Amino acid sequence: MSPWMLLGVMAAAGLATYLIRLSFIAVEGKVRLPAWFRTALQFVPAAMLSALIAPDLLMRDGQLAIGLDNARLIAGVVAIAIAARTRSIGWTIAGGMATLLVLETLI
């Protein structure tokens, strides 16, 4: 693929992404979205965050790593427990990172 074709593909992908996002902003207040659609949109942030985090927690060297030797998975479970108990982002991050640091040192 030539550099110009690659640049064109990247520009087209960027424009498509921009137009998709702009479409929601442009119709804000002008179009009434169905209740089921608005409800579904509430789950998008959690789904995106899960999609970003899950591979780091569950995979090691391209293989599924579910076990007590997976420090990231254990730290993730600890972070989930802290989040459920405290509802604090700061404590969740601090607790998860501290757990990961200790486990990485030990394992």
Q: What is the pTM of this model?
A: 0.66
Q: What local confidence, expressed as pLDDT, does residue 29 receive? A: 79
Question: What's the confidence (pLDDT) of residue 18?
Answer: 96
Give 60's strand partners: 63
pLDDT band at 50 (very low <50, low <70, confident <90, very high): very high
| Whole-number Å distance between alpha carbons of 100 and 107 | 10
- Tokens standing for 101? 């640091």
Q: Is 69 helix (H, G, I), strand (E, B) or coil?
A: coil
> Can you give the pLDDT at residue 78?
97
pLDDT on residue 84: 97
Residue 26 has pLDDT above 90, yes or no: no
Cα dihedral 47, 66, 60, 72 sign: positive
φ, ψ (nearest 5 deg) of residue 56:
-65, -35
Please report the pLDDT score of residue 46 as a whole number: 92
